[in-house]
Amino acid sequence: MEKLLTLAFHLLGAWFALVFLLIVLPSLFGISLGISELYLKALVKTWEWATLRIEKGIRRQQREAVKPSPSNVIIQRDHTTMEEAIAGLRRGDFEVSDIFYFCKKGFEAIVEDEVTQRFSSEELVSWNLLTRTNVNFQYISLRLTVVWVIGVFVRYCLLLPLRVTLATIGTVCMITGTTLVGQLPNGSTKDWLSDLVHLTCSRILVRALSGTIYYHNKENKPQKGGICVANHTSPIDVIILTNDGCYAMVGQSHGGLMGVIQRATVKACPHVWFERSEMKDRHLVTRRLREHVANKDKLPILIFPEGTCINNTSVMMFKKGSFEIGGTIYPVAIKYDPQFGDAFWNSSKYGIVSYLLRIMTSWAIVCHVWYLPPMTREEGEDAVHFANRVKSAIALQGGLTELPWDGGLKRAKVKETFKEEEQKNYSKMIIGNGATSSGTTDSD
């Protein structure tokens, strides 16, 4: 028994030593040994082979090539305004044919609306030996099945223990490091050590996800005293961005392990955490954020204006509160490669633990981050138009679909104001056409 315990301790010690030398130590200096790149290349080669096997099997079974669908879109929508659509059906100020437009939109919403599909995982064009797509692949070949089984073994028996180890090291180091740094007096030394702890721990946590991140246009990185706004796909967005620079986080106070991390990090860095009751007080939130931005020595604030996670295909409505503070806005576009793993967190379906398990048993997390040129509020521009302008820039750069809907629809019903707005638009159109018709009749 003693020999078994001694062997177990030796193996555990060798495991941690290997992890420290190959992953943790390079993270301290921000360097990569190139292991992730080789790993991703091997994955791509395997998927190429698997795709050929699938195509060959389907040709043999169905005598036709696979025609993969790029998405699960059912309806091809006509993106015209209500006025333009109804104008093609009407001849007077009101006709029964106007109902056809609203019936068409109603049927489209029933069959496939534009909102709820943004809160489900993004469909893949081909199978990545991890997630099945909307194409129901049947049994293709014994080789493909064997490769899939090997992949399950690698992900759960090799990668998962390694990633859990790294996540534990990164989390413990974050809590311990920020707590110790928080005991120092305010000054440049404390700020430097705080940045070092946040950067190092974020790099370890990124490696815990087998993350490979590509940062573009670094000359536009957010500066102190500014506000960084980004589209939101996952809680790991924070780690992805902090891996390349430090930010002051803004968010709601939590309990459990997340609460422990929040209370530890706020001692070393000027994060802004709100209680649930305070989050409902928009004026209090705005005042505290303005106080932070007014100090040009403080780190840039990181805010996700959507307020919820969207599935990496779209950008939904930006809340205007972030754009009423003033100061310079630094937009950032984040786009994950779904081929290697699904980073989207469907919080209404999965808890944080099950979500992290799904992430840590995926192949990898590959992400592109674009730093966009800083933007400021123009003279005479209100916060809503400014928010929409920033959202459009992020959507264009990230190749994301821009939607006007509120992400809060994930859990709430459509507000009555949306319905009333459509009714008012239709009424104005009817009144305008009626006035034109009557005016023409009088002149005749």
Residue 88 falls inside a structural domain: no
Residue 77, phi-psi category: left (phi > 0), alpha (psi -120 to 50), beta (remainder): beta
- Supply the pLDDT for residue 211: 86
CB 226 within 8 A of CB 302: no
Q: Helices H, strands E: what count in the chain?
A: 15, 9
Residue 63 falls inside a structural domain: no
Nearest CA among 351, 358, 310, 350 for reference residue 334: 310
pLDDT digits (tens, 9 = 90+) for 275-302: 766 666 667 777 878 888 888 888 899 9
Residues of the chain scoring pLDDT < 70: 10, 15-16, 19-22, 27-30, 57-102, 104-117, 119, 123, 125-126, 131-140, 276-282, 408-415, 418-419, 426, 429-444
Half-sphere exposure of 172 toward its Cβ, with a 13 Å CA cutoff? 7
What ranges in 139-218 are assigned the alpha helix state H? 142-153, 160-181, 188-208
Domain enclosing residue 304, as ranges: 155-410
Unique residue bearing structure tokens 């706020």: 266
Residue 90 falls inside a structural domain: no
What is the SS3 assignment for 318?
A: coil
CB 208 within 8 A of CB 360: yes
**Whole-number Å distance between alpha carbons of 373 and 218:** 10
**Whole-number Å distance between alpha carbons of 55 and 50:** 9
**Whole-number Å distance between alpha carbons of 380 and 373:** 21
Residue 84 falls inside a structural domain: no
pLDDT digits (tens, 9 = 90+) for 334-375: 999 988 888 888 877 777 888 888 888 989 999 999 999 999
Residue 87 falls inside a structural domain: no
Count of structural domains within the chain: 1
CA-to-CA separations, 401 to 168, 194, 369, 394, 395, in angstroms, rounded: 36, 37, 17, 10, 6
Residue 23 falls inside a structural domain: no
Unique residue bearing structure tokens 């059906």: 89
Residue 283 falls inside a structural domain: yes
